[in-house]
Structures are given as C-alpha cells and as structure tokens.
Amino acid sequence: MKIVARALFTVLTHITRQTSLTAFPFLDLRFNATLPQTIHYKAAAVCGVMSNRMKQILILFIFVISTQSNADESPFYVGTWQSNEEKTLASMNEVHDIPEKTKLFLRDNFFGRLVNVVREDTFAAYFIGERPDKLVFRPYDVEVLSNSTIRITYYDEFTDSNVIQTLTFEENCYSLQVSKWNFKEYFCREN
C-alpha cells in the first residue's frame, strides 16, 4: 500500500509542478510522515485544474488509500506484554488484608515471568524460559470500553468456563484485577 501511496504522491507532485499551483504555501512537495494529509491537500489543489472524471477517479483513489492506511494500524492492545513484578508487587503491598504468608509466597518470583502475545482476536501465553517453538493462539472476544480500557472474554479449558477480564492501559502497560484481594497485576509492552 505504501507503494501505491507513493505513486499517487508522485503523480500529484508532478501535476502541481506543471501548473501554477506551486505558489500555494500549503503545498509541501516533499514526501513526509503525514502522507494521507499531504495527498489530501495536493488533491484539493489539483482538482481545480482537472476534469470532473479525473476528479472522481482521484477522490476514489484517495478514499481507498485513506481506508487502507487506517486499516493497517493495529489496535492499542495488540502486542507482546510481560508481567511486571515491580509494579504488581507495589499494587499488592497497598492491600493490607493479605495474609503475610501469602505475600511472602507471591513475592518469591511469582510475578514477572508470564508473557502474553495479543493479536486482534487471538492470544497466546507462555512463561519466560519456557516459550514453545510454536505458540498456540486461543480466540477471545474484545469489547473496547474506551481509548484505554477493554473487556475480554475467553474460554478457559481448565475451569470449563468463560473468563471475563477488564484491562486498563496506561504508560505502555496494562493492568487487571487479580486474586480475591483485588490488587492489580501489570503487564508492560515488550519492544
């Protein structure tokens, strides 16, 4: 798709150079990161010197590129996320009614080892040092509640029931409530 966008950009640049439209200050003739906006501005200027049929073709072409460029972006929750022991233990330590014996158990390398690989509609999980050669992805349903919160539902074969979890994203991590004491386990994006 980038090749098509570059081709359209080149055509529009050539047309603007062949007309008096280069005098307009909003026509930046360099290829830049805001390609859809640049193409839109160039197309708006070029349409003033084009036939109606050419305008229709150009508008359709721009629509296809705009739709595809938005479709190429992954949702904010897609990625590889590793359990973050430091943030999780800080959350656990804020809860005062957890028995000390349980806290000691959870502090002993319990968190920080799980990795979740999340795709748009499937996920896989493994522990650091135990990654299989081929990950097994399981389906899940996602409901986007806001630009920083989703609710996922997936079937858990061990409990033979659906699991519903709400994930809240902030500062390149997400958190979810864990255990009967409702502290948060944090997972941070891997680079």
What is the structure's pLDDT at 73? 84
Half-sphere exposure at residue 90, Cβ-oriented, CA atoms within 13 angstroms: 6
**Closest residue by Cα to residue 156 from 125, 119, 191:** 125
pLDDT score of 19: 44
With beta carbons less than 8 A apart as the criterion, state whether 86 and 184 touch.
Answer: no
Nearest CA-CA partner of 70 in 44, 26, 37 = 37
**Where in the chain are the domains?**
2-71, 79-189
Backbone angles phi, psi at 84, to 5 degrees: -110, 105
- The contacts of residue 51 (CB under 8 Å, 6+ apart) are none
Specify the pTM. Answer: 0.63
170 backbone φψ class: left, alpha, beta (φ>0; ψ -120 to 50): beta
Fold of 79-189: Lipocalin (2.40.128)
pLDDT, residue 28, reads: 42
CA nearest 48: which of 70, 10, 16, 74? Answer: 16
Q: What is the mean pLDDT of each run of 10 residues along the chain (191 residues)?
A: 50 47 40 47 52 60 51 86 97 94 93 96 96 96 96 95 96 93 95 73
- The CA-atom distances, in angstroms, between 133 and each of 78, 121, 126 are 21, 21, 11
